[in-house]
Amino acid sequence: MDRPGIARYRGPFLAPLWLTFLAVVIGGVLVYGAWHGATTTVVVLVRPVEKDPGTIDDPPLSAEGEERAQRLAQMFAVSLQAAAVDGLYVSDERRAQQTAAPLAERLHRAAVVFGAADARSAAAHAVREHAGGTVLMVGSGATLQQVLGELGVEGLASIAGEDADIIYMVSIPRFGHPHVLRLKY
C-alpha cells in the first residue's frame, strides 16, 4: 500500500534551520574578513632638521635643529597619545638619530636603526610589522625617496630638496592606493 501524498514529499524537518545557521556563519566570516582587511597603516616621514655648519661628513644638529627636534617630539608625543606611534625607524645618520632622540625618550621606545642602503627593506618591514598602526621614519631626502618608492608613492621631488621642515604622512590602506599629506612644522 502506498503512503499518503503528504508524507511522500515532505523533506527533513531541520533542513531550513541548518541552512539558516550555515548562512549566518558564512556571513559572519565574510564580515570579519572585511573588517580585519580594512586596516590602514600610517607612515610619517620626517627629514633630519638643521645641521651644524662644518666640514665633517656627518655633522650634528644645530641649536635650531635641537629646538625643532624637541618641537617634533612634543607634536607626536602629545597629539598621538590616543593613537600612539607604534614604530620608530631612524636612518644611521647622526642628524636623523638626534632628531628622533627626544621623541624616542618621550615614548620610552628604542628606535630601529637602518642603513641608507636598507631603506626599502626597512619600509617594507615597518609596514608589515605595524600593519594598521602608525610608524614614524626619520631619514635624509635620498633615504626617504627610497622609502616612498617602496610604499608605492612616486613623484615627490621636494623631499630630496632642502625642506627640512616638511612632514609627509602616507596612509596605506590594505586595499587601494596610498595617499600622501604634506605638512609644514
For the chain, give every domain's residue range: 5-35, 40-184
Q: What is the model's pTM?
A: 0.74
Architecture of domain 40-184: 3-Layer(aba) Sandwich (3.40)
Q: Is beta strand 166-173 parallel, antiparallel or unpaired with respect to 40-46? A: antiparallel
**The pLDDT of residue 143 is above 70:** yes
Selected residue with higher pLDDT from 24 and 107: 24
**The pLDDT of residue 52 is above 70:** no
Three-state DSSP class for residue 26: helix
> Residue 116: what pLDDT?
85
